[in-house]
Amino acid sequence: MSAISLRGLTRRFGDHAAVDGIDLDAAAGAFVVLLGPSGCGKSTMLRLIAGLEPADGGRIAIGACDVTTTPAADRGIAMVFQSYALFPHLSVAENIVFGLRVRRLPRAERERRLQRAAELLGLQAVLQRKPAELSGGQRQRVALGRAIVAEAPVCLMDEPLSNLDAQLRQHMRSEIRELQQRLGMTMVYVTHDQAEAMTMADRVVLMRAGRIEQQGSPRDLYERPASAFVAGFIGAPAMNLMPRDDGPTLGVRPEHIRLCAPESGWPARVLSHEYLGAETLLVCEATHRSGSARLVVRAALAHTPARGEVVGLCWSPAAEHHFDAASGQRLTPDFPQPPEMSP
């Protein structure tokens, strides 16, 4: 296993800093997810680690070795791309061991690694098939197989599940996480899908405009967002954020809001609702002295209020998050008493 360390890593395209002075440590054997919206720099950072992009500044270390200027082929990493990139004229077995053949590993060693990867990924029955005869999930396993047979201590993945349907993505998330833990490799995984990040990662690195907005465990980012941006990005649905004229921005998670009598909380008009089986999402418009706010309520309801019905929205002060109105940064202490927020 090898740790990854980035110090002051920078990559510019003209006047635009795609990666802007990043400091990051990935412990040996950790599963680190780079998360963020399109254009935030996460894929560029992965390509810098892989050696597919030259760094304009900073340092990249894998294990104890500075690899900042080392060619990609000499960095001791495996990589899985968004595209499966399989050779259509080669069998599954030939696709998996292609890189080993290029490196001229002995046939017996190639066979040993192939059988191990096939067993780990459940591909024994399809080794002689061509990629066109495989399902999307099987093709993704073949791409993973190529990474496994390399027996590299570091594996980089760039949105490998984006081409799969929702049910298969959920299944493959579990498979990749289990595989990473079984092999003990250090994995850096890029995605824009927060469900992948929250369910797979030991450490989530949320990026914004080429910089790290917050990094920590999935629980850290969900329960203690460092900024209004993090609060609005993490969570499905995201945290309700309510700007106010007389104080900081107030944030409350949808599941922490409960319905009450209109006179006991914020009166709000129900705009729409989404029935999801075990729970219902209510979209409500509440009006208070600082203006109006659209809030989402997530709850298990025996009775769903009708569209246009007026309800009360209540929550505990301990469920509140407060962010500076100008900078968007989290305010401390965690739960300051807000100004009077009467309707």
Q: What is the pLDDT of residues 146-205, one digit of tens each?
A: 888 988 899 999 988 887 788 888 888 888 898 899 888 999 999 999 999 999 999 999
The answer to the question of residue 339 being in a domain is no
Task: Write down the pTM of the prediction.
Answer: 0.87
Q: In what order do the strands lie in the sheet with 320-323?
A: 240-244, 247-252, 320-323
Identify whether residues 99 and 217 lie together within a single domain: yes
**pLDDT tens digits for 81-129?**
878 888 999 999 999 999 898 888 999 999 999 998 898 888 999 999 9
> Is the C-alpha dihedral spanning 283, 284, 288, 291 positive or negative?
positive
Identify whether residues 103 and 189 lie together within a single domain: yes
Identify whether residues 144 and 282 lie together within a single domain: no
The answer to the question of residue 335 being in a domain is no
Whether 337 has a pLDDT exceeding 80, the answer reads no
Q: In what order do the strands lie in the sheet with 31-35?
A: 77-80, 154-158, 186-191, 31-35, 203-208, 211-216
Whether 252 has a pLDDT exceeding 70, the answer reads yes
Identify whether residues 116 and 245 lie together within a single domain: no
Mean pLDDT lowest among 1-5, 229-233, 325-329: 1-5
Containing structural domain, residue 277 = 238-323
Number of domains in the chain: 2
> Is the C-alpha dihedral spanning 158, 164, 170, 175 positive or negative?
negative
Q: Three-state DSSP class for 327?
A: coil
Whether 1 has a pLDDT exceeding 80, the answer reads no
Residue 340: the pLDDT is 41
Whether 334 has a pLDDT exceeding 80, the answer reads no
User: Please, which pLDDT band fits residue 343 given cuts at 50, 70 and 90?
Assistant: very low
> Which are the contacts of 185, defined by CB distance < 8 A and separation ≥ 6?
1, 29, 152, 153, 154, 155
> Is the C-alpha dihedral spanning 274, 275, 281, 283 positive or negative?
positive
333 cis-preceded (ω within 30 degrees of 0)? yes
Q: Which of 175, 198, 223 is the last residue of a domain?
A: 223
197 CB burial (10 A radius; 0-12, 13-18, 19+):
buried
Whether 338 has a pLDDT exceeding 60, the answer reads no
- Pick from 283, 210, 293, 306: which is nearest to 6 by CA? 210
Identify whether residues 285 and 245 lie together within a single domain: yes
Identify whether residues 183 and 293 lie together within a single domain: no
- Pick from 13, 19, 17, 1: which is nearest to 190 by CA? 19
Residue 182: the pLDDT is 87
Calculate the average pLDDT of the chain. 90
Residue 333: the pLDDT is 59
Task: Give me the amino acid identity at 98.
Answer: F
> Which are the contacts of 333, defined by CB distance < 8 A and separation ≥ 6?
none
Residue 244: the pLDDT is 82
Residue 149's Cα: distance from chain center in Å?
26
Residue 289: the pLDDT is 67
Identify whether residues 209 and 263 lie together within a single domain: no
Identify whether residues 247 and 279 lie together within a single domain: yes
CATH number, domain of 132, equals 3.40.50.300
Identify whether residues 200 and 251 lie together within a single domain: no
Residue 290: the pLDDT is 65
**pLDDT tens digits for 198-248?**
999 999 999 999 999 999 999 999 999 999 999 999 998 999 999 887 789
Which residue is it, tokens 């029955």? 125
